[in-house]
Amino acid sequence: MAKNGRLLWTQKIVEGTTSKRLANGGIVWTSESVKAKTSKWMIRKNAAKDSALTGGQMSGIVLGIDPSLRGTGLAVLESMPDGTLRYIESLTVSNHKSLSMPECLANIFKQTAAIIERTHPVCAAIEQSVYVQNFKTAMILGSSRGAAIAAASLAGLDVYEYPPLRIKQAVIGYGRASKEQVSRSVCDLVKGAGILPNDESDAAGAAIAHIYTHKIKSV
C-alpha cells in the first residue's frame, strides 16, 4: 500500500498536478535577517513560484516538525541521490502538565535548535494549521508552531508548510489515513526508521511531503 501510494504521488509530480497545487498553496518562511543579526521573519506565500520546478525529488537533510504544546514531534530524514530515504534522528519534546506555557515554548525552541545543531538540515517542513473552532486551542497551537519556526529561522533554515491531507497523500497516497497507517508507511519508506511514536512519524511525514513535492531551483 505504501509503495503504491508513493508511486501514485510520484506520478502526480511528473504530470505537474502536484506542482501546480504547491504553487497555488505552498507557504514558506524565510529569515533574510539572520545574517544582519536581527530577528525579523518574513512569510512568503506561493513557495513554488520561487523555485524552478524540475523532475525528481530533492536530495539533502530535512527536519520535519509536528507542533504541539505538550508533545512536539521532530524528525530528521535524508533524501539520498538514489531516491531512498534515510532516518537520522527523531524525538518528542514532552512537556509535563506542571510546566507553564512559557516554559513549554522555551523547551520546544531549545530542543528544535539542538536537533538542528546536531543534524545540520538544509530546511524544515511543518504541518500547516487546520481550522480550529476553539480560540484557546488555536492560540496554544500557534504559539507552539511559532517556537519551532523561530528556532529553525534563527538557524538560517527556510521553513515550508504543508496541509495535513497533502502530507498523508505523500506518505501513503490517501489523505484520510489514520496515524497508525502513517506510522507504518513511514517505517516502510524510510530506511532505519522503524515504528516511530505518532508525533515523530507525523513529523517525518512532513519531511517526506517536502522531499516528494519541493523542487530545487535551477542554477
Show which residues are catalytic: 66, 127, 199
Q: How far, in Å, CA of 174 to CA of 169, rounded? A: 5
Cell of 28: 514558506
For every residue of the chain, which 3-state class applies, written as one string?
CHHHHHHHHHHHHHHCHHHHHHHHHCEEEECCCCCCCCCCCEEEECHHHHCCCCCCCCCEEEEEEECCCCEEEEEEEEECCCCCEEEEEEEEEECCCCCCHHHHHHHHHHHHHHHHHHHCCCEEEEECCCCCCCHHHHHHHHHHHHHHHHHHHHCCCEEEEECHHHHHHHHHCCCCCCHHHHHHHHHHHEECCCCCCHHHHHHHHHHHHHHHHCCCCCC
Neighbours of 154 (CB within 10 A): 17
Q: How far, in Å, CA of 48 to CA of 18, rounded? A: 11
